[in-house]
């Protein structure tokens, strides 16, 4: 037994030495650890000016890179370092380490499902805002809910946000928002990268949004679309609509205290999830009253509007009576002209309940979509 503990101690010596060295380490002035680091990890770091700083221990490596940034520089002590030459755009950005040609998540960071794989993320925080941060307000719960899909012949899970009051008000029913991720992401995206639970907690606590349940499920688009797969672009993720209508919604309404009418049902999605949202809701206006596309919308030909989505817009007056909100949001740095032209074209055609929102200074990433949710949720279910 003594021999075992002696060996264990000897094995731990290198790690202890590295840990001790980190205690005496001098960090770049004006930097803080990335908010997505594992507890206690000091690298990567983010500067006040938005620059990023990486440091990786790989003494035997010949080449180390930070994906989307460039090569690191090897130091005499076996560490590799990288400092971004310019400030990075505010928001959350995926990356991987590439060590001698092998891509991997950063061992110092928490992992996120994005780009069709488990990756790391570094975040340049917005300054002087707290809408997506935990604050001193009542907090809701995000839990897993499992069900069996006859359509796909598999067990599936959705993540379900219930507001803080749900635990106390045992008889109260709630409206439901079905919230979808984008291509190469999964059902964890909105609660991890999107921080939707904190957004909802803060909105509800301030009275800006009504308490609601939010459901996040897989859109069956975790693997990026590949034309060589033999699947057409219109078939990609298309089975999500029948799964939502015939399996997810009945599952939620059977297991949670929800209203079950269309006036208390909303859907929104980011990027390809916005495309799925338009395909689902506009073809099933008898089931949804609120529609949101964040950096993504369907194929609406304004020149043949009456033919789009099986005639959803053929009767504009009827559409206006059914759809209480059609929200189109996008970042200013992701070529917003198409989205704005769509919103303007629908408005000019007589569609009334349109809200168009541009997120200033953001691109096709989760800060845009956090802001969209923060704008969209307060508009829901206010009869």
Tens digit of each residue's pLDDT (9 = 90 or more) over 104-128: 999 999 999 999 999 999 999 998 9
State pTM to two decimals.
0.91
Task: Identify the pLDDT of residue 6.
Answer: 42
User: Does the structural domain 141-379 have CATH classification 1.20.1250.20?
Assistant: no
**pLDDT, position 5:** 42
**Would you state the pLDDT for residue 1?**
52
Cβ within 8 Å of residue 147, ≥6 positions away: 155, 156, 157, 158, 247, 248, 251
pLDDT value, residue 351: 96
Domain 26-124 sits in CATH at 2.60.40.10
Instruction: Report pLDDT for 154.
Output: 97
Residue 373, token pair as written in the block:
């949710």
**pLDDT tens, position by position, 284-304:** 999 999 999 999 867 788 999
Domains of the chain, by residue range, sit at 26-124, 141-379
Q: What DSSP assignment string belongs to 63-89?
A: -EEETTTEE-EE-TTSEEEEE-SSPPP
Q: How many whole angstroms separate alpha carbon 177 and alpha carbon 312?
A: 21
For the chain of 383 residues, list the mean pLDDT of each consecutive stretch of 10.
Answer: 43 43 78 97 97 97 96 97 94 96 96 95 94 97 98 98 94 97 97 97 98 98 90 91 98 98 98 96 97 87 91 95 97 94 96 96 95 98 84
- Is the bond preceding 44 in cis, omega lying within 30 degrees of 0? yes
**DSSP symbols for 176-189:** EEEEE--TT--TTH
Same fold, 26-124 and 141-379: no
Rounded Cα distance between 91 and 122, Å, is 8
Q: Could you give the CA distance from residue 299 to residue 233 in angstroms, rounded to a whole number?
A: 12
* Tokens representing residue 161 in the block: 């946000």
Give the pair of three-digit tokens for residue 247.
Answer: 């399996």
- Predicted local confidence at residue 383, as pLDDT: 67
């Amino acid at each position: 037994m003594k021999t075992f503990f002696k060996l264990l101690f000897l094995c731990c010596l290198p790690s202890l030495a590295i840990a001790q060295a980190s205690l005496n380490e001098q960090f770049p002035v004006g930097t803080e650890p990335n908010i997505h680091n594992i507890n206690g990890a000091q690298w990567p770091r983010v500067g006040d000016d938005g620059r990023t700083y990486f440091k990786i221990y790989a003494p035997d490596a010949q080449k180390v890179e930070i994906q989307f940034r460039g090569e690191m520089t090897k130091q005499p002590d076996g560490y590799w370092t990288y400092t971004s030459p310019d400030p990075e755009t505010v928001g959350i950005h995926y990356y991987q380490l590439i060590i001698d040609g092998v891509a991997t998540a950063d061992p110092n960071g928490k992992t996120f499902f994005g780009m069709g794989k488990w990756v790391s993320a570094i975040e340049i925080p917005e300054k002087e805002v707290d809408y997506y941060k935990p604050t001193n307000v009542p907090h809701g719960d995000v839990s897993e809910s499992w069900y069996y899909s006859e359509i796909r012949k598999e067990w599936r899970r959705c993540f379900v946000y219930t507001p803080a009051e749900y635990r106390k008000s045992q008889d109260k029913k709630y409206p439901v928002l079905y919230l979808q991720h984008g291509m190469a992401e999964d059902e964890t995206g909105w609660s991890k990268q999107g921080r939707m639970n904190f957004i909802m907690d803060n909105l509800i606590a301030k009275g800006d949004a009504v308490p609601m349940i939010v459901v996040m499920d897989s859109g069956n688009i975790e693997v990026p679309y590949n034309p060589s797969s033999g699947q057409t672009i219109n078939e990609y993720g298309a089975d999500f609509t029948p799964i939502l209508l015939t399996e997810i919604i009945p599952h939620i309404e059977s297991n949670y205290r929800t209203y079950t009418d269309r006036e208390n049902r909303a859907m929104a999605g980011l990027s390809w999830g916005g495309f799925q949202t338009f395909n689902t809701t506009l073809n099933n206006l008898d089931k949804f009253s609120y529609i949101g596309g964040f950096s993504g919308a369907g194929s609406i030909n304004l020149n043949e509007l009456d033919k789009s989505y099986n005639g959803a817009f053929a009767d504009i007056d009827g559409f206006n009576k059914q759809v209480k909100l059609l929200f189109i949001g996008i970042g200013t740095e992701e070529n917003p002209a198409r989205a704005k032209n769509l919103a303007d074209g629908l408005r000019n055609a007589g569609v009334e309940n349109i809200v168009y929102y541009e997120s200033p200074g953001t691109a096709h990433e989760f800060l845009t979509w956090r802001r969209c949710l923060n704008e969209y949720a307060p508009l829901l279910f206010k009869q």
